[in-house]
Amino acid sequence: MQLGTSLTHFLIENQRTHAGATGDFTLLMNDIVSACKVISSYVNKGNLIGVLGSAETENVQGETQKKLDIITNDVFTNTLMRGGQVAALASEEMDEVYNLPATARRGKYLCVYDPLDGSSNIDVNVTVGTIFSILRAPEGVANPTEQDFLQAGTEQVAAGYCIYGPSTIMILTTGNGVNGFTLDKDVGEFMLTHPNITIPADTAEFAINMSNQRFWEAPVQKYVADCIAGETGPLGKRYNMRWVASMVAEVHRILTRGGIFMYPIDSKTRDKGGKLRLMYEANPMSMIVEQAGGMSITGYERIMEMAPTKLHQRVPVILGSKNEVQKVWDYHKG
């Protein structure tokens, strides 16, 4: 029997390649892995344990929360708080930065997350996921503030997501490529199944919510029209379209077989800055996509270079296969 590489061993081996590493990052990742295993189990059991449906409450974005939004946020927050490797936490489901109890051990990282992305899909049994971004905490600050979280995507120490689909898969980058680990539920370990993921540079598959078409700006209108025009149109190829309405599922498809995902700015979301959130959706996904050889922009600039102005900031997102994203960027420039 050939033994595989567990995520635990992968992290330890990675730690050994960094002179002076203390093991704190490895421990933080172990906490994230533990939280995601619990979330995977809850998502999997669904109504057997009564966790589906609406919680009838609203988050800071004014969106109605699902029961699982709240439960998964508690699982992730409590696991990381107790692990002692973070100085503070922030999440889509919490209005403000979560500061640790006075007695809790402080670590040198900040973690910002969307505990259950795509949760509008949970009741219909479609793929959802947890997205996380790890930043460095300022030194010697007991209770970091929102300002301490407002670091550009290029400052991320690591980023990843755990996708709860037919399989549960953890995708992780520490700035040295992207690797994927599938949860073996019988054993309770994530095993390396997708080493060194790279996104094909070319694609003929786009993902966008077409119901927003009339609100889009001219460059996106033109690009999508040209995709639909097919072989005889200006782009000279026949395109296929997908829309899961779960960013983790779209990004995972793109990591697997290429593609382009767009949630562009439109007249409906212009006042808010876009639909998706910079700190815990766009930045971590951009780091993953770029580390896999893809590209991630707003239409006008590279997302990871943006200077964040607030924790729950929204941003337009166009990411995926490099040559296709470049094309859409050119449409915006033209």
Cα 24 from chain centroid? 22
Buried b (16+ CB within 10 A) or exposed e, 25-61: bbbbbbbbbbbbbebbebbeeeeeeebbeeeeeebee
| Cα angle 95, 130, 187; round to 5 | 140
Among 195, 203, 177, smallest CA distance to 293 is for: 177
- Cα–Cα distance for residue pair 158/320, rounded to 1 Å: 19
Q: Out of ligand AHM, Mg ion, none, which partner does residue 254 contact, by CB within 5 to 8 A per kind?
A: none
Q: Closest CB to Mg ion among 62 and 188? A: 62
Please enumerate in sequence order all residues whose Cβ is within 8 A of that of 214, keeping only pairs 6 or more positions apart, or say none: none
266 binds ligand AHM (CB under 6 A): no
63 binds ligand AHM (CB under 6 A): yes
Q: Show the binding pattern over residues 3-42: x = contacts ligand AHM (CB under 6 A), - = does not.
A: ----------------------------------------
Q: Closest CB to Mg ion among 134 and 248? A: 248
Q: Out of ligand AHM, Mg ion, none, which partner does residue 245 contact, by CB within 5 to 8 A per kind?
A: ligand AHM
Q: Where do runs of H (alpha helix) occur along the chain?
A: 7-16, 24-45, 67-83, 146-149, 218-229, 247-257, 283-291, 322-333
SS (H, E, C) 261-308: EEECCECCCHHHCCCEEHHHHHHHHHHHHHHCCCEEECCCCEHHHCCC
153 binds ligand AHM (CB under 6 A): no
117 binds Mg ion (CB under 5 A): yes
Contact between residue 100 and residue 81 where contact means Cβ atoms under 8 Å apart: yes
114 binds Mg ion (CB under 5 A): yes
93 binds Mg ion (CB under 5 A): no
Given 246, 291, 296, 321, the residue binding ligand AHM (CB under 6 A):
246
Which residues between 196 and 215 bind ligand AHM (CB under 6 A)?
Answer: 209
71 binds ligand AHM (CB under 6 A): no
Q: Out of ligand AHM, Mg ion, none, which partner does residue 209 contact, by CB within 5 to 8 A per kind?
A: ligand AHM
Please give the size of the binding site for ligand AHM, defined by CB under 6 A. Answer: 12
Q: Show the binding pattern over residues 73-102: x = contacts ligand AHM (CB under 6 A), - = does not.
A: -------------------x----------
Among 93, 98, 128, smallest CA distance to 114 is for: 93
The minimum distance between CB 66 and ligand AHM, in angstroms, equals 9
- Residue 166, both tokens: 């037919």
3-state secondary structure (DSSP) of residue 15:
helix
Q: Out of Mg ion, ligand AHM, none, which partner does residue 290 contact, by CB within 5 to 8 A per kind?
A: none
How far, CA to CA in Å, does 262 sit from each of 165, 209, 286, 320? 21, 8, 12, 9
247 binds ligand AHM (CB under 6 A): yes
Q: Show the binding pattern over residues 102-121: x = contacts ligand AHM (CB under 6 A), - = does not.
A: ------------x--xxxx-
Please enumerate in sequence order all residues whose Cβ is within 8 A of that of 228, keeping only pairs 6 or more positions apart, or say none: 239
123 binds ligand AHM (CB under 6 A): no
Q: Out of ligand AHM, Mg ion, none, which partner does residue 246 contact, by CB within 5 to 8 A per kind?
A: ligand AHM
Q: Where on the chain is the footprint of ligand AHM (CB under 6 A)? A: 63, 92, 114, 117-120, 209, 245-247, 263
Q: Where on the chain is the footprint of Mg ion (CB under 5 A)? A: 114, 117
